[in-house]
């Protein structure tokens, strides 16, 4: 007996996931309001053809995050062995197109340091970030596609990692290894897209989780033939 509700082809499933992801990013960047997002998300789940799915994102603006290419890797001669960042009762920032050293020592004493790796040009191997924070803080931001390893000691403080993207599957992905000591201070590690604010990253993570659950329910329903 022929199944009256055959399973959609793989290409349609892949396109559906791609369109849902783009809708999430557009909503996170305020290109869609609540009603528009809900409506297009429902239509994406119900779409039966590729043109139906493509039409849901055809009129949306290009996102900077989606159009920004990965920074080119640094040549071996550009990568320093060691570098020190000091923030004492003040601030220190590393961001934009910079080349992280193999070992980066960060001292934040009653001050704050910001390390933004989203446009950094990584060399081969691991970037080790060793932090000493005394009544200060260090904020570390990495893009999706960079693996983060955290191992630190905190006394009346914390080493907090907020993952808003799944870990990279590429075994050759850059690695940022964070460790050190925080006393009455803290280290915060986040994964954000280039140009994405903290608020937008949190919003995108919630939407991705919700959309994934909805898609899983829809696929199970189709498998049962409901």
Q: Which residue has the higher pLDDT, 47 or 166?
A: 47
Name the token pair of 134. Answer: 């005394």
Q: Which residue has the higher pLDDT, 62 or 104?
A: 104
- Rounded distance, CA 53 to CA 44, Å? 6
Q: 56-103, pLDDT tens digit by residue?
A: 999 998 865 443 446 788 888 899 999 999 999 999 999 999 999 999
Q: Which residue from 27, 74, 22 is spatially nearest to 203, judged by alpha carbons? A: 27
Task: Report the first-to-last Cα separation within the chain, whole angstroms.
Answer: 16
Calculate the alpha carbon distances from 58 to 26, 68, 200 in Å: 12, 19, 22
Angle between helices 34-46 and 198-224 (to 10 degrees): 30
Q: Which residue has the higher pLDDT, 77 or 122?
A: 122
Name the token pair of 60. Answer: 């949306």
């Amino acid at each position: 007996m022929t199944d009256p509700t055959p399973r959609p082809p793989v290409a349609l499933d892949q396109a559906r996931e791609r369109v849902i992801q783009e809708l999430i990013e557009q909503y996170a960047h305020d290109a869609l309001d609540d009603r528009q997002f809900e409506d297009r998300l429902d239509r994406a789940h119900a779409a039966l053809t590729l043109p139906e799915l493509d039409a849901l994102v055809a009129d949306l603006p290009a996102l900077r995050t989606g159009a920004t290419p990965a920074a080119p890797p640094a040549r071996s001669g550009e990568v320093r062995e060691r570098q020190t960042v000091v923030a004492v009762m003040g601030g220190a920032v590393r961001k934009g197109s910079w080349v992280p050293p193999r070992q980066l020592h960060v001292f934040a004493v009653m001050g704050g340091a910001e390390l933004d790796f989203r446009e950094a040009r990584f060399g081969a191997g691991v970037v080790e970030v060793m932090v000493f924070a005394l009544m200060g803080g260090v904020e570390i931001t990495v893009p999706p596609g960079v693996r983060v390893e955290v191992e630190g000691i905190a006394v009346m403080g914390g080493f907090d990692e907020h993952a808003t993207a799944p870990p990279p599957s590429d075994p050759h992905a850059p690695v940022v290894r964070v460790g050190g000591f925080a006393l009455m201070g803290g280290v915060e590690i986040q994964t954000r897209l280039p140009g994405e604010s903290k608020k937008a990253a949190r919003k995108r993570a919630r939407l991705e989780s919700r959309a994934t659950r909805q898609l899983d329910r829809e696929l199970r329903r189709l498998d049962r033939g409901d």
